[in-house]
Amino acid sequence: MTENNTDQTETPYEYSFEYIQKKLEGKKDSFGMLMKEIVRTGICTECGTCAAVCPVLEWDDLTAQPKLIGKCTGCGICYNQCPRTITDPYMLMGDFKTGYVANTNIPEVIGGQDGGTVTSLLCYLFNEHLIDAAVVTMKDPNKPWHPIAQIITSKDDAIKSSGSIYSHSQTVEALMDAVRQDFRSIAFVGTPCNIDAVSKMFDSPTGMLKYFMRCHVLKIGLFCMDSFAPEALYPFFEKGGIDLLKVQKMNINKGKFHLYYDPQGEPVKSYTIRQLDKFKSSSCNFCTDLTAENADISVGSVGSGANKNTVFARTGIGTEIMEDAAEKGYIKIEPFNAINLNAVLFLAKLKKVSQYTIQKRKVFIVRDTDEREEPRIETKPEVEQVAVKPALGARKFISAKKDLIEEDKLLNLSLTNTIGYVLEGMKIRVVTIEELFEKRPWITTIKELFPFETIEIGYPLDIGEGEPIKANILVEASTEAFGKIFSRTFKLAPKE
């Protein structure tokens, strides 16, 4: 053995392992995350790669899972080899030509949502006659803090449109109006889902705008982690003492939702995003795009300091616009660095993996004194009538299906939350109606019913052996917030 070889304590394999460990240093990927995101969510392909690359992991045939057989250093190598994890920057936030930290250089725009870059770009585009119109989102003058998509044609209106409203806005409707009004060059500002709609309309073989050659759309995408259902969120704010008419700004920063009466001052109230999770639009749970990957220019706040924007110019025209707007003095730009990028990548990853952690829950309750229901549900005999308030407009909160099971002895009711936010403290009342009288009433309280979640209730029918089934069953649902939200009588008759 040569002297050199004696010093060499590592095999080439160990050397590579350590090299990659160093490369991954500072990242928060780990075996725990692999288990949480990939194995426990049921998306593991059982390829065994994780066990193959790590000396302290082995494949457990019995559980069909990787198993630790030594001390895990948390290096994240297993996580980064797994075919199911999303780890490469390109996969996390799409392609881009140049990244910038940017903010406005226009005095009237200071006080935009973050750095005012979006508004400043619109000012530049109008002043330089590069666009005829822009599609933006403003506050509905008739409903405080509800978004309303608008076509604007001037710099002054662009300034009026600054600021974020954290709810879905029907921007594409305004875009189509602009197209019908023959505007040829349009800047479109929207969340990643809005941008995707426009991209599809241009790029898909059956897209509405594909052959509409007269229309040019510049897509300015906003970063977006989630949006909220105003019908549910705002009453919650009001319950907490907030006067929506006085709110000047809403802002999400570092996991908190802040409300300001004075945008320059301290927030009047702040909530953690977790507290508001139940008011999140259900679509956002399935959304994987943080940074508007299909936009020409994507603008957000994460990764840059206060009053600044993180900007990705993704297309040639997007880059030219950013550079020219800076050169002509509309915006200030600074180079983007690895610290900015890592913050974006971290959040982008949280969003990409959320698609795996959604689990559809189904609950089955049978009214049986011996059976204990799930902890999320409290069942008790009816003691009092539910206070009935008028339901909110003509919205359909619940849909119901019935099914007779167990030789027609049990009425199985499937109730689905058809509204895009969590229904809380929902009282379900089921009663048999016989000759105008209510019999055998009972109430179940569902603490939380998630959007599009289905809950199944078994209601035993009081039918003797061999008797034909004939009954009218009234099913009602109500919540404290919305009053009676569902009422339907199911007529049960013997099968023909």
Out of ligand FAD, ligand SF4, none, what residue 147 binds, judged by CB under 5 to 8 A for its kind, is ligand FAD
The H or E element containing residue 316 is: helix 316-327
For ligand SF4, which stretch binds (CB under 6 A), given 68-76, 136-144, 304-312, 447-455? 68-76
Min CB(226)–ligand SF4 separation in Å:
5
Residue with smaller CB distance to ligand SF4, 298 or 478 = 298
Cα Rg of the chain, angstroms: 28
Out of ligand SF4, ligand FAD, none, what residue 137 binds, judged by CB under 5 to 8 A for its kind, is ligand FAD
Q: Report angle CA 319, 323, 327 to the nearest 5 degrees.
A: 170
Rounded CA-CA distance 206/216 in Å is: 18
Out of ligand SF4, ligand FAD, none, what residue 378 binds, judged by CB under 5 to 8 A for its kind, is none
What interhelical angle do 192-203 and 171-180 show, nearest 10? 40
For ligand SF4, which stretch binds (CB under 6 A), given 138-146, 251-259, 276-284, 469-477? 276-284
Q: Where are any strands of DSSP class E within 249-321?
A: 249-253, 256-260, 269-272, 297-300, 309-313
User: What are the angstrom distances between the C-alpha of 436 and each of 160, 287, 432, 473?
Assistant: 59, 49, 10, 12
Q: Does 47 bind ligand SF4 (CB under 6 A)?
A: yes
Which residues inside 206-225 make contact with ligand SF4, applying CB under 6 A?
224
Rounded CA-CA distance 460/91 in Å is: 52
Which parts of this chain interact with ligand FAD (CB under 6 A)? 112-119, 136-137, 147, 161-167, 169, 171, 189-191, 194, 222-225, 227, 252, 299-302, 309
Residue from 94, 99, 112, 192 in contact with ligand SF4 (CB under 6 A): 192
Rounded CA-CA distance 15/43 in Å is: 31
Residue with smaller CB distance to ligand SF4, 66 or 116 = 66
For 90, residues 6+ apart whose C-beta sits below 8 A from its C-beta are none
Q: Does 73 bind ligand SF4 (CB under 6 A)?
A: yes
Out of ligand FAD, ligand SF4, none, what residue 151 binds, judged by CB under 5 to 8 A for its kind, is none
Q: Does 74 bind ligand SF4 (CB under 6 A)?
A: yes
Q: Which residue is nearest to ligand SF4 (CB)?
A: 287
Closest CA to 347 of 190, 168, 196, 226: 226
Q: Does 232 bind ligand SF4 (CB under 6 A)?
A: no
Q: Does 283 bind ligand SF4 (CB under 6 A)?
A: yes
Out of ligand FAD, ligand SF4, none, what residue 300 binds, judged by CB under 5 to 8 A for its kind, is ligand FAD
The encoded tokens of residue 366 equal: 């049978």
Largest Cα–Cα distance of the chain, in whole Å? Answer: 101
For ligand SF4, which stretch binds (CB under 6 A), given 190-198, 254-262, 332-340, 438-446? 190-198
For 331, residues 6+ apart whose C-beta sits below 8 A from its C-beta are 102, 103, 104, 105, 117, 120, 121, 124, 322, 325
What would the DSSP string read from start to end of 408-472? Answer: TTEEEEEEEE-SSS-EEEEEEEEEEEETTEEEEEEEEEEEEE-TT-EEEEEEE----TTPPP-EE
> 309: buried, middle or exposed (CB in 10 Å: 19+, 13-18, 0-12)?
buried
Which residues inside 321-350 make contact with ligand SF4, applying CB under 6 A?
none
Out of ligand SF4, ligand FAD, none, what residue 233 binds, judged by CB under 5 to 8 A for its kind, is none
For ligand SF4, which stretch binds (CB under 6 A), given 80-88, 138-146, 370-378, 388-396? 80-88
Out of ligand SF4, ligand FAD, none, what residue 345 binds, judged by CB under 5 to 8 A for its kind, is none
Helices vs. strands in the chain: H and E counts, helices first: 14, 22
| Binding region for ligand SF4 (CB under 6 A) | 30-31, 34, 38-39, 44-50, 54, 56-57, 66, 72-78, 82-84, 168, 191-193, 224, 226-227, 281, 283-284, 287, 289
